[in-house]
Structure 1
Amino acid sequence: MKGAARQFFILAIAYAVVGMALGIYMAASHNHAQMPTHAHIMVAGWLMSSVFAFFYHLFPEIGARPMARAHFWIQAVSGVVLVSSLFVLLNGTEAIEPLTALASFGFLAGMLVFIWNALPVLRTA
């Protein structure tokens, strides 16, 4: 794996480890208040990053473009801020909610960049 594919897969692995650790913590403590955070880490983090990694691996010419690097950084930064701020929000710090909302829109922006990157493949399918 090279370029954006490699970056996204490394990010996916990091999300998987963090999500599993949070899941084990919730099970051991019998406190499942962070279930939404766990779900976001596993789906928005692990699953989506893996899908992006394999897309860019299957289409390396797209994964080597500057827009693929932009996609990675938008998705990575907004995703980490999203799940981190969601964790803090669900622990009772409501003042962080605007940051969570902003990160959510950043995550959506990353998805829109991915769609833009994937359009050439979709047009030829």
Structure 2
Amino acid sequence: MGITFIKISAVYFVIGVLLGYYMSVTHSYQFAGVHVHINLLGWTSMTLAGIIYTLFPQTQRSILGKIHFWLHNIGLPVMMIGLFFLIQGNETIGTLIPFGATAVLLAVITFALNVFMNLK
């Protein structure tokens, strides 16, 4: 689970940097919120979770680690796609944001529970 988190965080890192690069070369910073969330919730948070899961194997053996992984990796793309389209004026797809955000929030709570319950 820890290695899987770290590997997928590298994908989010590439996506975040590509979006930052696009904004820099076009001087269009309207997607800064998407860029920041992908880098913080995708790259940084998942890398740190992966490191914790790797250093403390009892946390990655828990079902909570798997729940955290799937909630986070379903919720973040849904939330970012919704935000991307909302910024472009498509409020219909923008309604995805609360669903993705709720999944990410539940993922973070699951992670915290896992740490408190299984990190001895």
Normalised by the shorter chain, which TM-score bucket?
A: over 0.9
Instruction: Give the counterpart letter for 1:87 in structure 2.
Output: F
Matched, 1:82 2:98: no
Structure 1: where are the runs of 5+ without partners?
Answer: none
Residue 13 of structure 2 is matched in structure 1 by 16
Count of residues in correspondence between the two structures: 120
Instruction: Give the counterpart letter for 2:77 in structure 1.
Output: V
Shift of 1:65: 2.1
Residue 29 of structure 1 is matched in structure 2 by 26
Shift of 1:96: 2.0
Q: 1:2-34 CA deviation, whole Å, 9 max, x = no partner? A: xx1011111110000000000000111111100
Instruction: Please list every run of at least 4 consecutive aligned residues from structure 1 whose deviation after the TM superposition is greater than 6 angstroms.
Output: none
Indicate the larger mover: 77-86 or 11-20: 77-86
8 Å contact 2:78–2:99 — kept in the other structure? Answer: no
Residues in 2 aligned to 1:23 and 1:29: alpha-carbon distance in whole angstroms: 10
1:96 to 79, 93, 96: 93
Residues in 1 aligned to 2:70 and 2:99: alpha-carbon distance in whole angstroms: 15
Matched, 1:112 2:109: yes
Structure 2: where are the runs of 5+ without partners?
Answer: none
TM-score under structure 1 length normalisation: 0.90
8 Å contact 2:58–2:118 — kept in the other structure? Answer: no
SS in structure 1 at match of 2:93: helix
Residue 45 of structure 2 is matched in structure 1 by 48
Q: 1:52-93 CA deviation, whole Å, 9 max, x = no partner? A: 101101111221222211110111110111112211111111
Indicate the larger mover: 16-25 or 4-13: 4-13
Computed over aligned residues only, the root mean square deviation of the Cα atoms, in angstroms, reads 1.3
